[in-house]
Structure formats: C-alpha cells, structure tokens
C-alpha cells in the first residue's frame, strides 16, 4: 500500500472510455425514455386545459337540388375539460414520477 493520502494511479484509456459513453445504446435508451416521460407529463398537463378550435366546413357538392351554391360554414368549438382538476393533477404527478424514475 502506498504511504500517504494521494495515490499515483494511471488509468489507461480512461478518456476513451468516457468518450465512448455517448455511443452506448443503454445510455441512449435511458435518455430517450426520460425525454418520453417528460413529454408524456406535458401531454397530461395540456389535456387538462380548455381547447378552442376554429372549424371551417364546405360540402363537396357544388349546388343543391334547387341549383343554389352550397355555403361555407364556420364555427368556434370550445372543448372544456370533463376530468376534475384533482384527477388531472394526479395523472400529471404519475407522469412526473415516471419521468424521474427513467
């Protein structure tokens, strides 16, 4: 055993081994799973927000039986969340826990 607190160790190929970590498939998979869990948590959070869609409709028929042109129709469609806020928060929390585990 060397005397003192500092040992003079020479690690051969240490820099090469650290550089090779970026190409390790297990590391890439873990990074991809963590990113997917984060996106899943964001998706759950976005689902709890109200949505507003602008819908434009036009039939493919050029005219009706009386020869009148078919009009365009447009509407705003508001979709409100049917899941209570506490349940959405719980789902979001589960996605966040999954993200942290990945």
Q: What is the pLDDT of residues 78-96, one digit of tens each?
A: 877 665 555 666 665 655 5
Average pLDDT, the chain: 77
Across the range 48-75, mean pLDDT stands at: 82
Across the range 28-38, mean pLDDT stands at: 91
Reading the block at residue 27, the tokens are: 């590391």
39-58: burial string, b at 16+ Cβ within 10 Å, e else: ebbeebeeeeeeeeeeeeee
Q: Which helix or strand (DSSP H or E) is residue 43 part of?
A: helix 25-47
pLDDT confidence band for 34 (50 / 70 / 90): very high
This prediction has a pTM of: 0.43
Residue 38, judged by CB atoms within 10 A of its CB (0-12, 13-18, 19+), counts as middle
Given CA atoms 24, 29, 32, 37 in this order, what sign does their dihedral have? negative
pLDDT confidence band for 23 (50 / 70 / 90): confident
| 3-class secondary structure, 57 | strand
Given CA atoms 56, 59, 60, 66 in this order, what sign does their dihedral have? negative
Across the range 22-39, mean pLDDT stands at: 89
């Amino acid at each position: 055993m060397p005397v003192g607190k500092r040992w003079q160790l020479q690690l051969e190929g240490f820099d090469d081994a650290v550089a090779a970590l970026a190409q390790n498939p297990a590391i890439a998979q873990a990074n991809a799973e963590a990113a997917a869990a984060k996106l899943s948590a964001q998706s759950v959070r976005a689902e709890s927000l109200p949505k507003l869609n602008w819908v434009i409709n036009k039939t493919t028929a050029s005219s009706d039986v009386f020869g009148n042109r078919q009009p365009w129709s447009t509407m705003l469609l508001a979709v409100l969340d049917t899941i209570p806020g506490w349940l959405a928060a719980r789902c979001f929390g589960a996605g966040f826990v999954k993200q942290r585990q990945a």
